Amino acid sequence: MKKTIILLIIASILFWYGCKKRLAMAGGQRDIIVVLAEDSDWDKTKDALEDALERDVFTPNRETIYYLLHGLPENLPSYFYGKNLILIGNLEGLSEASKLISNLLTDNAINKVKKKEAFIFEKDNPWAFSQYLLIITTPGKPDLVDIIKKNRDVIFNYFENASSERAKYLIYSAGRVKAKEEKLKNEFFFSVDLPFGFFWAGEDSLKTFAKFVRHYPFRSISIGWQDKLLDSISWNEACRIRDSIGTLYFENDLIVKDMTKGKHVEFLERGGYKLEGIWENDEKIMGGPFRTYLFNDSLQNRSYIIDIHVFAPGKKKWFYLKELEAMASTFRTYPLRDSKE
Residues 276-286: tens digit of each pLDDT: 999 999 999 99
**Pair 163, 225 in one domain:** no
**Pair 96, 218 in one domain:** no
Which of 171, 186, 207 lies at the terminal end of a domain, its last residue? 171
**Pair 103, 192 in one domain:** no
- CA 88 to chain CA mean position, Å: 24
Please indicate, yes or no, if residue 5 is contained in any of the structural domains: no
Residues 56-76: tens digit of each pLDDT: 999 999 999 999 999 999 999
Alpha helices (H) in 173-313, listed in sequence order? 178-188, 235-249
Query: Domain range holding 155?
Result: 18-171
- Residues 6 or more apart in contact with residue 341 via CB below 8 angstroms: none
pLDDT band at 87 (very low <50, low <70, confident <90, very high): very high
How many domains does the chain contain in total? 2
The rounded mean pLDDT for the chain is 92
- Residues 6 or more apart in contact with residue 123 via CB below 8 angstroms: 104, 132, 133, 134, 135
Contact assessment for residue 210 and residue 194, using Cβ atoms and an 8 Å cutoff: no
8-state DSSP, 337 = P
Please indicate, yes or no, if residue 341 is contained in any of the structural domains: no
Residues 202-253: tens digit of each pLDDT: 888 889 999 999 999 999 999 999 998 998 899 999 999 999 999 999 999 9
End-to-end CA distance of the chain: 64
pTM for this one? 0.88
**Pair 196, 154 in one domain:** no
